Structures are given as C-alpha cells and as structure tokens.
Amino acid sequence: MTDRITVEGVYKIFGKSPEEALRLMEAGDTKEGVLAKIGQVVGLCDVSLTVPAGSIYMIMGLSGSGKSTLARCVNRLIEPNAGRILIDGQEITGADEAQLREIRRTRISMVFQHFGLLPNRTVVENTEFGLKLRGVTVRERRNKAMEVLQIVGLASWANHLPHELSGGMRQRVGLARALATDADVLIMDEAFSALDPLIRSEMQDELLRLQRTLKKTILFITHDFQEALKLGSRIAIMSDGKVVREGTPQDIVLNPNNDYVAAFTRDVDRARLFDACSVMAQCKPLALNGEGKASSTVDRDAPAFVIDDGGRIAGVVAADALARLEQGLAIRSVMTQDYEMVTSTAKLSEVASIYRRDRPIAVVDQSGRLMGRIDPLQILARIGVPAQPPAAGN
C-alpha cells in the first residue's frame, strides 16, 4: 500500500516571532518554555506521519492537542512554519496560490463539523457546489451530484433545502459534496461530533459502508477514542502539538506506552476491538491423500482439523481418535463435523458467543482456507478476563 499523505517534521507557531520560537524549540525548549519566554504558542511540534492510500487515518486528541491545526496544515488553510507535507509524493508546502486552488478543487475535500451547507440552496445545489467552482458544466455537475446523493441515500431529497433535513441527513449532504469532487483525500474535522449519539453511530456505519466501495484516503479528526477505534485503520494520538503514540488500534490498546494514552484505553471494550486473528494459534492439520488416509502427524493432545486439497476444512478428528489413524483407519471413519469456524476478522465477542465445550474453533480466511485455531483461554487473556482455576475436586 502506497502512502498518500506524508507529513515530515512540521511545526506551526502562532505569534509574531515564529523564527525565534523555532530556534528555542530546536535548542530543546518546551512548548511551555516558549510561551513563557517570548509569548509564542506552539501549535505543532515536529509532527511526522504517513497516511496510506485508501485508509481511514484518525488524528485523535483532547482540545488544544493540535489535531485540527494539523488537518488545516495538510490542506494549507494554515501555513506551517517548518517541515514538509506531500500528497502522492508531491510537496504542497511550496505550492503557490494557483496550485493551492487546484489542489483544493481536485485533490483534497473537507467535511466540517457544522455541515457548512448553504441554507438558500437545495441539497443537489449544495452537493454540486464544488464542481460549480471548478467550472464543470451544469449538466455534468448535476449528473455527478445526483450520483453521489444516490450513494449516500439522499437522491429523493435532492430538491429540498437544508433546514428540512435532520442533522444526520445534513451531514450526509456535506459528505456527498466532498465525494462529488472525486478528490483523492477527504479531511473530516470532528465531522460527527455535533450529532446525537444514535445518529453519530449511524453516520460512522455509513462512512465505513461507503469506504468499502469508494476506498478514499480519509484523514479523520476526533476527540473521541471510541470513534477512533471504530473507524480507524491507524491512529495518531496528539498532545501539546506532538504525536505521542501512533499505530493500529489494537497496538495502541495493548501497548499505550504512556499514562496519557493509557487513560484513553482504560475502558475500551476489547471483545469488540480485537479479532480472531489476534489470538489465533498455528495448527498442523491433517491432509487427505488419494486413499483418504492421514498424510501428516499432529499433536495428539488437541483435536486436529482435516483439510482438502484446497486448504479448506473437511472436518475434525478428536484428540482421542488420532491414535486410531496410525492403525490404518481412513480419516473419514473418525472425522466428524464437531467444530466451529470463524473468519480471521471476526471480533472476539462473536467468537465467544459461538464457543461450545469440546468443539474446537477454526480460523479461516475469506476463501475458507484454514489459518489456525483458537484456544478459549487466549480469548479471556486478550480481553483482560482472568481464567478461573478448576473448582476443588474437579
């Protein structure tokens, strides 16, 4: 996967003497020290990150952490004082006004927290507005606007005004307007934070649905860690203008690395965050040869899965039946269907719900090929539930 956005050593200083502030920072001074000495506010301090193409990349932090400042530096609404920002390898920090206008019209779109809709224009007119500014013909922009309104489920509301729509519907219009430009990058700055919790959850689901089809590169700004976990393939957590932790949601929850990040992860529902692949153990399956006999040996202490020539599960042999295979019995005579099967992306909450005693759990890929097995104790360990010792006398 290639990188669509690259941020390298970006600084943003708010004040009249940014050069002096940069010299102090380079000498090892802190944000607080710069403010106390020269009254300059450090908005971003040596921020570096890369956003893979086609991903939803979350920038997360509390108020004043620098997350929105970073988003506005990426589309140059705010001018960085130092560092580089590249889109598909092209540096945009040196772009002139004409180049910037072209970048904003064709390559980067923004979805705002408070919708930003024009109240006296219809839904379709709002949706096509970016294309109008680009000089696209009336017919072409109207066709494109209707196409994206169909995608977000608002085609029947095309001729209504924004005040006739619910908050969630207005936000979908804002999303449609961004999508209509066919921009490579969408920047969503607290896009769902003004919505009621239920509508917010629905909009998150809608964004994930759209992303599966459109595969845009989305830089999503949020202060909500649960939202970051639900939407993001990677998360950068910011504090005092710096990125203090970056990684996959699972990595960050398992290894927060500092107290600031750990505070966000404390109440995470791990059963809904981690998937089967995260607790999967490798296993050596039995293969069916031309005569239907076991063609490999396995650990006799656990049931063994049987796979066909395509690597798909044909059945399972109980641990106490494995020895009988060495006596020459055909696999099919001892093979049963007493097992459960989940995909590698299944959440642990789903895996736990299908667990049955004495029925091993197989993990398969999207084509149904065996990848590994799951020990129920590993599920408990991952979600932080201590395994209970056997009761006395058992």
Question: What CATH number should be reported for the domain holding residue 341?
Answer: 3.10.580.10
pLDDT at 1: 63
Q: Please write the tens of the pLDDT for every residue from 54-87.
A: 999 999 999 999 999 999 999 888 999 999 999 9
Last residue of a domain, one of 271, 295, 318: 271
The reply to whether 108 and 222 lie within a common domain is: yes
Asked, for residue 140, whether it belongs to a domain, the answer is yes
pLDDT at 52: 95
Which of 329, 294, 330, 312 shows the shortest CA–CA distance to 367?
312
Asked, for residue 387, whether it belongs to a domain, the answer is no
The reply to whether 229 and 141 lie within a common domain is: yes
| Strand pairing class (242-247; 286-287) | unpaired
pLDDT at 298: 55
The reply to whether 198 and 221 lie within a common domain is: yes
Last residue of a domain, one of 219, 248, 271: 271
Look up the domain containing 223 and give its range.
54-75+96-271
Phi-psi region of 257 (alpha: psi -120 to 50; beta: other; left: phi over 0): left
pLDDT grade for 390, boundaries at 50, 70 and 90? very low
For all residues of the chain together, what is the average pLDDT?
Answer: 88
Asked whether the beta carbons of 333 and 315 are under 8 A apart, the reply is: no
Which of 272, 271, 237, 267 shows the shortest CA–CA distance to 252?
237
The reply to whether 159 and 305 lie within a common domain is: no
pLDDT at 315: 93
Distance CA 314, CA 337 (A): 8
Q: Is the pLDDT of residue 95 over 60?
A: yes
pLDDT mean over 84-94: 91
Q: Is the pLDDT of residue 192 over 70?
A: yes
The reply to whether 294 and 226 lie within a common domain is: no
Q: Please write the tens of the pLDDT for every residue from 291-316.
A: 444 445 556 678 899 999 899 999 99
Asked, for residue 37, whether it belongs to a domain, the answer is no
User: CA quadruple 384, 389, 390, 391: dihedral positive or negative?
Assistant: negative
- Number of domains within the chain: 2
pLDDT at 299: 62
Distance CA 187, CA 66 (A): 15
The reply to whether 120 and 152 lie within a common domain is: yes
The reply to whether 60 and 185 lie within a common domain is: yes
The reply to whether 110 and 241 lie within a common domain is: yes
Question: What CATH number should be reported for the domain holding residue 123?
Answer: 3.40.50.300
Asked, for residue 359, whether it belongs to a domain, the answer is yes
The reply to whether 348 and 249 lie within a common domain is: no
The reply to whether 262 and 290 lie within a common domain is: no
CA contacts within 13 A on the Cβ side of 175: 28
Which of 383, 387, 311 shows the shortest CA–CA distance to 347?
383
Distance CA 158, CA 176 (A): 11
The three-state (H, E, C) secondary structure of the chain, written as one string: CCEEEEEEEEEEEECCCHHHHHHHHHCCCCHHHHHHHHCCEEEEEEEEEEEECCCEEEEEECCCCCHHHHHHHHCCCCCCCEEEEEECCEECCCCCHHHHHHHHHHCEEEECCCCCCCCCCCHHHHHCHHHHHHCCCHHHHHHHHHHHHHHCCCHHHCCCCHHHCCHHHHHHHHHHHHHHCCCCEEEEECCCCCCCHHHHHHHHHHHHHHHHHHCCEEEEEECCHHHHHHHCCEEEEEECCEEEEEECHHHHHHCCCCHHHHHHHCCCCHHHHCEHHHCCECCCCEEECCCCCECCCCCCCCCEEEECCCCEEEEEECHHHHHHHCCCCCHHHHCECCCEEEECCCEHHHHHHHCECCECEEEECCCCEEEEEECHHHHHHHCCCCCCCCCCCC
Q: Is the pLDDT of residue 289 over 50?
A: yes
Q: Please write the tens of the pLDDT for every residue from 145-191.
A: 999 999 888 999 999 999 999 888 888 898 899 888 888 899 999 98
Q: Please write the tens of the pLDDT for every residue from 18-56.
A: 999 999 988 889 889 999 999 999 999 999 999 999 999
The reply to whether 147 and 254 lie within a common domain is: yes
Q: Is the pLDDT of residue 357 over 60?
A: yes
Range scoring the smallest mean pLDDT among 245-259, 289-303, 350-364: 289-303
Q: Please write the tens of the pLDDT for every residue from 108-153.
A: 988 877 767 899 999 999 999 988 888 889 999 999 999 999 988 8
Last residue of a domain, one of 215, 236, 271: 271
Q: Please write the tens of the pLDDT for every residue from 225-237.
A: 999 999 999 999 9
The reply to whether 251 and 303 lie within a common domain is: no
